[in-house]
Amino acid sequence: MTALNLTKVALALRVKLPHEALARHVAASPEVVGTELAKQVQAFVGQEKLGYYPPVDYLRSQAAVDLALLDALEQIAWVSSNMAREEIRVRLRPVFSSVRFESIHANAYTMPSVRPGHPNAFADLAEHYTPTTVKVDLLVTMIQKSEGTGLERLAEQMAVRWLKGRFAAFEVTSARSV
């Protein structure tokens, strides 16, 4: 008799929402917000002689950038996160027996990986602070007839198949059995 096995796989995704999808739901352009924020951050870093670009929470605590700009960033990041969650839920729910979201974070709130003095620093910083990229950690459950190895790869392939083309950019950053 064949037994059914439940396999849980933790997936980490990075998705970028298309500009057209966000334009219908937000008042400000995400690209304009990211560029303006990058200008103000670059001025602050130059004034303070920092060797790094700080995350948004630090900028808010130091009153280093315009609060209206941070409010626009927060609103767009909230909409981006919710749109990503809904699209992923709708697309993956039929494929896996369960889909549970562990965390959703807008990339704009993380520490930028670009450093001052880098040849393309401003463009990379503006891209980082543009609130259209979201990191999603989720736990999916698959029902399989047999226990086996490589189920992480299967879950990753299924996620790619069902989500590719739904976002401006899509990447599975990790997949591991739990």
Q: What is the pLDDT of residues 92-121, one digit of tens each?
A: 999 999 999 999 999 999 999 999 989 999
Q: What is the pLDDT of residues 119-163, one digit of tens each?
A: 999 999 999 999 999 999 999 999 887 766 778 999 999 999 999
Q: What is the pLDDT of residues 11-60, one digit of tens each?
A: 999 999 998 888 889 989 999 999 999 999 999 999 999 999 999 999 99
- How far apart (Å, rounded) are the C-alpha atoms in residues 116 and 100? 38
Would you tell me the crossing angle of helices 67-92 and 30-48 to the nearest 10 degrees? 130
Quick check: 68 pLDDT over 80?
yes
- How far apart (Å, rounded) are the C-alpha atoms in residues 77 and 96? 27
Quick check: 76 pLDDT over 70?
yes
Q: What is the pLDDT of residues 20-32, one digit of tens each?
A: 888 889 989 999 9
Other Cβ atoms closer than 10 A to 113: 11
Tokens of 32: 């304009």
Domains of the chain listed by start with CATH number: 5-177 (3.30.70.380)
